[in-house]
Amino acid sequence: MLHIIDHPLIKTKLNMMRDENTDHKQFKQLLDEIASLMTYEVFKDLKVVNKGTIKTPTNCEIDKLRLEKDIIIVPILRAGIGMSNGVANMLPAARIGHIGLYRDEKTLKPVEYFCKMPTVDNPLVLICDPMLATGGSASEAISILKEKGYKDIRLLCLVGVKEGVDKVLSTHPETEIYLASLDEKLNDKGYILPGLGDAGDRIFGTL
């Protein structure tokens, strides 16, 4: 259920994001571009369905095609917003939900503080979060969505480690995970190595 999207454009752009000298404007732009490229792989298995007809400028009538699923893009606040923008560039008709989580200082477990989801007929939910570290936030986000009745859920992250992947798949084995890179390990503070630092701070320039 783990997909590592191996593409030279993604590799080179991710390498630039890892550079500590890349400023927040360029970092955000690169993240948009990578997320857009990854979107092709995430949804390549979807079918298209006929939703009527359209007429071309040459006066030909052809089928009007749409995706079989209603896509909902769900960033985990706040860093996930930076990744969801690139996905939305490819899917401008997609609906956007939001999940807010914070880590309890005593239990170190994620706690929900916000969740707002759109209602659609045939949903496929894509959760976006640049970093899959311990996997706690991603697992909790999936649990929250399941409790609200969503069943078809995928997870899109930029970089992750085995610990995070194992955590998500141990609690939600049916969830497909898409990464641009599976990195080496976590350090003693829970940061991904080699990683790219704090994605949220680098996206929004709050270092």
Supply the pLDDT for residue 190: 83
Cα angle: 127, vertex 129, 130; to 5 degrees: 145
Report field, pTM of the whole predicted structure over 0.85:
yes
Can you tell me the distance from the alpha carbon of 185 to that of 16, in angstroms, rounded to the nearest whole number? 20
Reported as type and span, the H/E element at residue 139 is: helix 136-147
Provide the 3-class DSSP secondary structure of residue 109: coil
Q: Can you give the pLDDT of all 207 residues of the chain as single tens digits?
A: 999 999 999 999 999 999 999 999 999 999 999 999 999 999 999 999 999 999 999 999 999 999 999 999 999 998 899 899 999 999 999 999 999 988 777 776 888 999 999 999 999 999 999 999 999 999 999 999 999 999 999 999 999 999 999 999 999 999 999 999 999 999 988 889 999 988 888 888 887
> Is CATH 3.40.50.2020 what the domain over 2-204 is classified as, yes or no?
yes
For tokens 């194992």, name the residue: 166
Both tokens of residue 35? 């997320």
- Domain ranges, ordered by start, for the chain: 2-204
Supply the pLDDT for residue 108: 66
Cα angle: 76, vertex 122, 52; to 5 degrees: 125
